[in-house]
Structure 1
């Protein structure tokens, strides 16, 4: 086919020169990703972070295309060129099953974006599946097996999902650029040039380990400064609580929800299908929340207005030993008139920046190995004292969220405000 060019702020030009890839991009299921934000509620904090999963998936495909070409041309003894198309397609489709506001929606409605990704790929009802089946009858199952980590070639899986893969490399650079921060920047060209396929998996040359080290530090900083930002998590809490309120109201207010949010009915009823799921995106959910602003239920109406108009909840960090104080804070909030079930929340965000392979763990990680001059392998933290300091350490915090009004209560509620502030001070 004549190559198609997608102009991209991160990679400049993304080239599509395979008809299967181009046809997949033009399916309704993939075009839907234009309407799913990559960063969810983070856009409420970093206003430039409005980019979509469509652009991210194109970026992951682009990196996979670069790597597979390099492997085929230079390392044919360790790389099977027959896996090139499979790798590019899996990279392109890896986020296909994400729903509106992704993880928040998943937690409340018991959906799983990875399962939906596999179902979109393997279901004969989708345009995606019909295109993949033309490659080979078993090709959809092969793509799905890369997504669920069961494909026999570990190299392919590691290019899509490992501690340093095409997915993470694209989203760190893309999210960093779009949010206007510098934390996620690293030397992509050096990492790609030092990447090598071995029969046992992917490794990096010794000369490139500083670039890999820089990548891990950048990843750590993006999580601490952007992905775990307290204000973004505050908006996530609001979204979770207003959807929870809608679930509680639905049995007694079905007519309202059927009129104002019809595409959510199968999810309230727990009867949703793949077809129902594919009808949802961020714009649909935002439209419904705007409609809920006019609800006769004061809690749903107020929470919806807070979310749409970005009235952020305040928060404070606390330790497990402070749980009794948190309960007292909730009592003061209730005394002023806020239902703690909907106006408070505990949100925990923790990340493990890097760890070695531990087969006994629930989700073993693929460690990063550095190829030595004598062709032996050395695990990255043994080469880098900086990475060793991060290895196995968990970073993040636990926050208690509450209405901002608690800090400004007046007149009749002044005593509750004073008590509330005293309890907050005891947490620090």
Structure 2
């Protein structure tokens, strides 16, 4: 499909809560740990029964943290109903992963080994444990700004958070050890979260045989085709909360999908040719949601304001981590204990003047930076948002790769020239190139 990229200029110096849609009404079905289950009433999938080890994982501080991470970052400033979180998305992804895997197992007896489906479900449940404040705002905007060249990804943090979860919760650790006698299942879970790529987080020898069954890796996060249950849940959930309806039929796709030994490749999940139109609807839904939410000019403005606040606070906020060591916000990605304390509420702590544990060496600098951060937050709350001053959509003939070599300063000057007349005519205060950023979005 065609890739589009847009340039959006955002003024940065001109001027200067949580609804959970997964029910808390949880019904315990058994007092036995091995048969423990909980029921969640989900607005998207209806009744979801979570069983076994996954129940214990959900009832940990590390997983409950997801309640305080908005799924769409700044999207709720455009769509007021889009205040859903990573918590309910993770449970929805768990549900779809288990459903899809069992449909495939029924049609392909012997393809799945004992424990494979449970590993897929746990991977689906935990795949977003590593998200930071305001989800992709943290890893796509904040970290690249304060740590240029960083290769850190939230998927890696998800694996680290899962390991930390097991370390910090003895009852979960014991239950997991019962499930995973030789340690190979934990490695498979981590490998599925990471997409089966070679990394330092997975013991290669324990997953070598599993990687020959690529279909195990194509249910939760399919980096080969982009067709996976993670997307299906957020298509349905984000669309529902935003009031935008998609037409993709995930149930039809699951029923018609097959595991096939592809020539010169491992067995993969394949679709019938008459599913092409349904898959087109899926990718069209993705494009529509990205354009209307993620790349909406107001969403981008809000998210850049959030990043400005986080960047301003980065040198003064101290978050306790491993061994009692105090970490900057940007340093938390290297300390999973400190990272587990990060969530969207960090803005509320700043805005309401709650004690932040800030550095005392330079009180004046601390005061000034807190004042700057609170000024931006005051603008955000009063909807005095960053404005879009220019936009460019690439045509089909333009080379998408050119964006990597774009002269940003030149682009800023061109945007300034275009907007200068309007600014002068309205008698507004002129602004310079350093007052705004260029944001590149890809669909």
TM over 0.5: yes
For residue 376 of structure 2, the aligned residue among 303, 313, 320 is 303
For residue 327 of structure 2, the aligned residue among 266, 279, 300 is 266
1:31 alignment counterpart: 64
What is the alpha-carbon root mean square deviation over aligned residues?
3.2
1:112 to 2:153 alignment? yes
1:12 to 2:43 alignment? no
CA gap of 1:317–1:132, structure 2 versus 1, over 3 A, is: farther
CA gap of 1:268–1:96, structure 2 versus 1, over 3 A, is: closer
In 2: Cα distance, 1:77 partner to 1:176 partner: 37
2:237 alignment counterpart: 174
CA gap of 1:327–1:299, structure 2 versus 1, over 3 A, is: farther
In 2: Cα distance, 1:288 partner to 1:133 partner: 41
**Unaligned runs of at least 5 residues, structure 2:** 1-34, 197-206, 262-266, 355-365, 393-405
2:337 alignment counterpart: 275
In 1: Cα distance, 2:135 partner to 2:330 partner: 20
Q: TM-score, normalised by structure 1?
A: 0.70
1:316 to 2:365 alignment? no
| Partner SS state of residue 158, structure 2 | helix
Matches of residues 130-141 of structure 1 in structure 2 within 5 Å?
131-136=175-180, 137-141=183-187
- Deviating runs (4+, > 6 A) in structure 1? 261-264, 329-333
For residue 201 of structure 1, the aligned residue among 255, 259, 268 is 268
In 1: Cα distance, 2:155 partner to 2:114 partner: 26
| Partner SS state of residue 280, structure 2 | helix
- Encode CA deviations 1:225-265: one digit per residue, 9 max, x unaligned: 22211111110111112322334xx3xxx5xx56xx88996
2:249 alignment counterpart: 187
- Encode CA deviations 1:255-308: one digit per residue, 9 max, x unaligned: xx56xx88996125837521111011112333224439x954564342121123
| Partner SS state of residue 164, structure 1 | coil
1:345 alignment counterpart: 437
1:145 alignment counterpart: 191
| Partner SS state of residue 44, structure 2 | coil
For residue 292 of structure 2, the aligned residue among 209, 212, 225 is 225
Given that 1:78 and 1:198 are in contact with CA atoms closer than 8 Å, whether structure 2 keeps it comes out as no
Matches of residues 78-93 of structure 1 in structure 2 within 5 Å?
78-80=111-113, 82-93=115-126
Given that 2:36 and 2:55 are in contact with CA atoms closer than 8 Å, whether structure 1 keeps it comes out as no
Given that 1:196 and 1:202 are in contact with CA atoms closer than 8 Å, whether structure 2 keeps it comes out as yes
**Structure 1 residue 176, shift from structure 2 partner:** 0.1
In 2: Cα distance, 1:276 partner to 1:129 partner: 21
In 2: Cα distance, 1:348 partner to 1:269 partner: 22
1:398 alignment counterpart: none
Matches of residues 371-382 of structure 1 in structure 2 within 5 Å?
none
CA gap of 1:101–1:329, structure 2 versus 1, over 3 A, is: farther
Higher RCO (CA < 8 A, seq sep 6+): 2
1:236 alignment counterpart: 303
**Structure 1 residue 196, shift from structure 2 partner:** 1.5
| Partner SS state of residue 316, structure 1 | coil
**Structure 1 residue 114, shift from structure 2 partner:** 1.3
2:97 alignment counterpart: 64
**Structure 1 residue 119, shift from structure 2 partner:** 0.8
| Partner SS state of residue 4, structure 1 | strand
2:80 alignment counterpart: 47
CA gap of 1:325–1:85, structure 2 versus 1, over 3 A, is: same
**Structure 1 residue 316, shift from structure 2 partner:** 3.2
**Structure 1 residue 80, shift from structure 2 partner:** 3.7
| Partner SS state of residue 315, structure 1 | coil
